[in-house]
Amino acid sequence: MTNKLADIISQIQPIDPAWRAKAQARLDNLTKPPGSLGRLEEVAAQYVAIREELFPLLKKKKVVVFASDHGVVAEGVSAYPPEVTFQMVYNFLRGGAGINVLARHVGAAVEVVDIGVNHEFQEAPGLISRKVAPGSRNLAREAAMSQDQALAAIMVGVERAQAALDEGVDALAAGDMGIGNTTPAAALAAVFTGRPPAEVTGRGTGIDDAALNHKVAVIQRALDLHCPDPQDPLAVLAQVGGLEIAGICGLILGAATGRRPLLLDGFIATAGALVAAALAPAATGYLIAAHRSVEPGHRIMQEHLGLKPLLDLDLRLGEGTGAALGFGLLEAGLKIYAEMATFAEAGVSEKEA
């Protein structure tokens, strides 16, 4: 680990329970039975504690979508060809993808980061060019990245978080695009949760049973080849990860240093969170699990991180779509917290002790 990454990690402070208690005290004094608005109260209290302000604002929201290709697609682990990655980046830039629609719905900006797409893009509004390499290598046959590349990709994520903070962004969401990326995500899930590949590997883009069994075998082959050590998260990321997953890890670390929440999307984003949490355990306090994917490993990852999803809608698109929906629930919780009357303000009798 470089001094620069170590310095970033050292800036991440655990969430102060005293701030969460202050928020909960107000929530408990609103005109409702205590706890009756459930998870809306929980995310509001978490946001107050993250920001360390009694009435924090939530005005500016951004989804950062990291895009990268994956050498492991050569093993036949995806239902789609690799060129779909760069084609979808163009779709994002035109505003025609699922994440664009849902981000507009919740009033969030979308930023697309080329961190490792095997295609040369021209300059375009909304596209951030930070290509570390033209995709990762085939993790079933060699390390997906060098450790220098993995670190560089993490630092891209940190930089994008810091740029968002400089713009006044109040909450961030992580999205992804990369054909084949459920394979490295499942490999990371297996390493960090200690579960076998068969338990954490799903159908991704919609492969059949035979292809799923093959995908599990490819991941097991990679684990047997690299023998990744979860106590060395940077090495694990380099061995079996992906550039966009590294970028998401960095975005999480950068958001946490700036005391901003990071809304997690699905399986890929949560793989990035596994790496971030292994590097900086305190970063988990800044994470909000927006939803639970149909990918079987997603539940296992969330449980490992101690995260409970806000939604369970059978989503499996990625891109940050589920995280965008999470923005709406976070805003709803904060409006309850800030705008609902207290018993004294409303002249309503409280429950007797």
pLDDT for the residue 1: 62
Q: How far apart are CA 194 and CA 198, in angstroms?
A: 12
pLDDT digits (tens, 9 = 90+) for 117-129: 999 999 999 999 9
Q: Domain map of the chain by residue range?
A: 3-56+337-346, 61-327
Which amino acids are annotated catalytic? 319
pLDDT for the residue 50: 98
What is this structure's pTM? 0.96
pLDDT digits (tens, 9 = 90+) for 22-65: 999 999 999 999 999 999 999 999 999 999 999 999 999 999 99
Mean pLDDT, rounded, of the chain: 96
pLDDT for the residue 317: 93
Query: How sure is the predictor about 91, in pLDDT bands with cuts at 50, 70 and 90?
Result: very high
Per-residue pLDDT averaged across 177-195, rounded? Answer: 97
pLDDT for the residue 198: 96
Q: What angle do CA 17, 168, 92 make, to 5 degrees?
A: 110
- Give CATH for domain 3-56+337-346: 1.10.1610.10
Give yes or no for residue 245 having a pLDDT over 60: yes
pLDDT for the residue 247: 98
Is 5:151 a contact under the CB 8 Å cutoff?
yes
H-type helices in the chain, by residue range?
3-10, 17-28, 38-51, 84-94, 98-106, 147-166, 182-193, 197-200, 209-226, 233-240, 243-257, 267-279, 296-305, 321-339, 343-346
Class of CATH domain 61-327: alpha beta
